[in-house]
Structure 1
Amino acid sequence: MSNHPQWLARFIEVYQQLSVDNIDTIASLYDDNVTFQDPMHLLQGKEALMQYFHRIYTHVSECRFDITQVISSEDNAAIYWQMTYRHSKLNGGQQIIVEGHSMLSAKDGLIAQHRDYVDLGAMVYQHVPVLGKVIKYINQRAAV
């Protein structure tokens, strides 16, 4: 991955080593005015982003990212990943594996925009005890 811009190589390295114990390492990747968006949140600023990550990571006992593909230019990238995580209230506390991707834009060597695309049903909803059965039923019906 050495043929990627330095900001992107750092992002990949940090996220592949990210765990519940070293969440603060990601702060060095982001611009103070970063815009972050995922299917449920739109955040402005590094402080808001770090608060968000701390909230999320206090509820998981494991979270790991495996980068599967990277498409990049000097200041933009698409990162395809597989996230494995474990949350005590989802899937009986067992591992959940979800695929997604992130669109990144950098400015002056720091990430200025980060947008995550992930299927919330696969990530959360289908692992909630009662709701999960409903989601699975809907998915089966839609496939007919």
Structure 2
Amino acid sequence: MSRQALIQQVQEYYTDFLVRDPADLAGIYSKEVVFCDPLRRIEGLPALQAHFAHMSRGLTQCRFQFEKASIDHDSACLPWHMHYAHQSLRGGRPLRLRGCSLLRCSDKVFYHEDFFDLGAMVYEQVPLLGTLVRFFKARMERS
């Protein structure tokens, strides 16, 4: 499979995350995949599949809108906006998060790292904590 086709397959999987089966990850990721984000590091396809199955609990919406990917011979950078809603955040209202994924691949993806603002995703959405985080961010911007 070409790099372009593999990246397109990754994007299709995440387009509507909640309707996808974690078993489908075997067609995209290698058995030895390493998946990282600001919260965790996961090693191995079975652990990633279990994580994705668990992560979808509580989500009522989760889809990714991708911008133009930058693809090199063995890596890709995928900028995205995640549109999500979780029953524990902001009363279940829809939220949006900007981020980017770095993928390293051969015939399948063997390394996937997501970059995003964890504060914007979680901390700013918690009632009292969110008020404090937004206050301090605004204060730092004015400095």
Aligned Cα root-mean-square deviation (Å) = 1.5
Superimposed CA distance per residue, residues 68-119 of structure 1 (whole angstroms, 9 cap, x where no aligned partner): 1200023210000000000011012101100000000112x11000000000
Partner Cα distance (1:102, 1:33) in 2? 18
1:20 positional shift: 1.5
Q: Which residue of 1 aligns with 2:60?
A: 61
Looking at secondary structure, tell me which structure has more strand per residue: 1
State the number of aligned residues.
Answer: 140
Partner Cα distance (1:10, 1:121) in 2? 29
1:55 positional shift: 1.4
Partner Cα distance (1:26, 1:96) in 2? 25
Q: Which residue of 1 aligns with 2:39?
A: 40
1:21 positional shift: 2.7
Unaligned runs of 5+ residues in structure 2 are: none
Secondary structure, counterpart of 1:40 in structure 2: coil
The TM-score, its normalising length taken from structure 1, stands at 0.91
Identity of aligned residues (%): 29
Q: Which residue of 2 aligns with 1:126?
A: 124
Is 1:23 aligned to residue 21 of structure 2? yes
User: Which is worse superposed, 118-127 or 18-27?
Assistant: 18-27
Secondary structure, counterpart of 1:53 in structure 2: helix
Specify the code of the residue in structure 2 equivalent to 1:126: E
Superimposed CA distance per residue, residues 27-66 of structure 1 (whole angstroms, 9 cap, x where no aligned partner): 3210000011000101110111111111111120110000
Partner Cα distance (1:80, 1:111) in 2? 17
Partner Cα distance (2:8, 2:19) in 1? 21
Superposed, 1:1-144 pairs within 5 Å as 5-16=4-15, 18-24=16-22, 25-107=24-106, 109-144=107-142
Secondary structure, counterpart of 2:88 in structure 1: coil
